[in-house]
Amino acid sequence: MRILTILVALVLVAVIAAAVWFRMAPMPPEAWHVDPAEATPPATPNFELRTGAEAPRLQGTPSEVMLRLDAVAKAEGAERIGGDPSEGFVTYVARSRLMGFPDAISVRLHEDGDRTRVDIFSRSRFGQSDMGVNAARVARWIDAASS
């Protein structure tokens, strides 16, 4: 019984240490602030990348669309780590609620007639699979910014 208690305690300490480490893991802008159109997709399937013809087009000027996207990102608790909304190119970090796994989301806007093209690249820093989290985030942000 004593060995079982020790093992459970060690597992608990390991889980807490991992959660702290993931929450504290640095996301340096020089590594994560990338133009989605120039990004190399990761070898793992834990990302969503929409650029060029696959990029969503939203009503409004790039400035208007960026204001809406920035508000959506902030409302979800994402933190800006690179770029400036006034330049139409920003990178955010969003962390999962339970373990604090960081995801980087880079957004670059382009005028496209009377609309704005949104090149967006959402990717996980850790893991093999994101269980659709990045694709869902991109869809949610684009839907919210379309309103």
Tell me the CATH number at 64: 3.30.310.80
Check residue 40 and give its pLDDT: 93
Check residue 19 and give its pLDDT: 75
Closest CA to 107 of 121, 93, 94, 87: 121
The three-state secondary structure class of 108 is strand
Count of CB atoms situated within 10 Å of the CB of 57: 15
Partners of 122 in the beta sheet? 48, 105
Cα–Cα distance for residue pair 48/86, rounded to 1 Å? 24
Check residue 38 and give its pLDDT: 97
Flag whether the pTM goes above 0.85: yes
Count of CB atoms situated within 10 Å of the CB of 41: 11
Under the banding of pLDDT at 50, 70 and 90, the label for residue 75 is very high
- The count of structural domains within the chain is 1
Under the banding of pLDDT at 50, 70 and 90, the label for residue 138 is very high
Q: Domain span at residue 74? A: 2-146
Phi, psi (5° rounding) for residue 67? -60, -45
In one letter, which amino acid is 20? V
| Average pLDDT of the residues of the chain | 94
